[in-house]
Amino acid sequence: MTSGLQFDSAGRLRHLLTIEGLSRQTILEILDTAESFISVGEREIKKIPLLRGKTVVNLFFEASTRTRTTFEIAAKRLSADVINLNVSASSANKGETLLDTIRNLEAMHTDLFVIRHSESGAAHLTAQHVPAHVNIINAGDGRHAHPTQGLLDVFTIRRHKGSFAKLKVAIVGDILHSRVARSQIHALSTLGVAELRVVAPKTLLPTAVEKLGVQVYTRMEAGLEGADVIMMLRLQRERMQGALIPSEQEYFNLYGLTPAKLALAAKDAIVMHPGPMNRGLEIDSAVADGPQSVILPQVTYGIGVRMAVMALIMGGSAEPAGGRRQA
């Protein structure tokens, strides 16, 4: 899938489909812009007029709690009009294709589509067929990419750890099925962390994953040793064909993040999870709800990051009215 499709002829970001191909400068611009938008959510009136008059359609063909809701809140905080298409009650159920659905919504003068789909490449396909004035954001496609999750994850790391250069980061769990892991790896490689590790049983690692520039660990204890950031992943049972883990209890014993395993990481390590969590399977509640967890702040930061992406690709100023850039 070509990442060149994301840019217009002047090199400006027009769609956000994947983090692959984004420069360090572009990622940092998104993070800096998001910093300036975080404060909007802390005001009494949580609204700025940047996208007033624009229409955003959320098209979620897969379940979502965090991404769909934070995109809606983000668009509303920018004063856009937001439609959440109820896909289960839409004409997609009568056989209408994705592109026909898009064309019909486009005929209603939609400016931005936020798309989640079970098929890898759905957002790319859509971006190839929309007119120049319409923008697309990929909110997760199959196993391929979840770029705004990757961006909010690196935003969270920067907020809690400062610079990326000296960090040891461990991504733990079902790497094979995870679009989040792919987006995290592209973002963290581009930002230049000192060490990027993936930790999983062999059955949950993609073929040749080391070609992505990561160090591979199949023993969790070794992978967590001295880590500054631990990014846990959900075990995606719905995408598994056949038995890829011996049993859930054994998976938890070997790869579940417990207080004992967390103690192997740096003392001030932070624990992240994109959600939804399988408590007692990939993460113990004592860790998920413990003092090193930044799992709920990740959700809050997602609003600022999604505001930033929408503002930048729709050509608005990165400067919120009455606000000041913080980074």
Residues that bind ligand CP (CB under 6 A): 64-67, 140, 149, 274-276
Q: At what angle do helices 295-313 and 147-161 cross, to 10 degrees?
A: 120
Nearer to ligand CP, 150 or 201 (CB): 150
Start-end of H helices in 235-294: 248-255, 259-262, 285-288
Residue 315: CB minimum distance to ligand CP, A? 26
Nearest to 282 by CA among 236, 226, 227, 222: 236
User: Do you know the residue count of the chain?
Assistant: 327
Residue 66: CB minimum distance to ligand CP, A? 4
CA distances from 197 to 122, 176, 322 (A): 29, 14, 41
Residue 138: CB minimum distance to ligand CP, A? 11
Nearest to 178 by CA among 95, 226, 234, 104: 234
Nearer to ligand CP, 168 or 273 (CB): 273
Residue 44: CB minimum distance to ligand CP, A? 28
Nearer to ligand CP, 256 or 275 (CB): 275
Nearer to ligand CP, 50 or 57 (CB): 57
Residue 274: CB minimum distance to ligand CP, A? 4
209 exposed, middle or buried (CB, 10 Å; 0-12, 13-18, 19+)?
middle
Nearer to ligand CP, 275 or 316 (CB): 275
Report the alpha-carbon distance of residue 60 to residue 323 in Å, rounded.
32
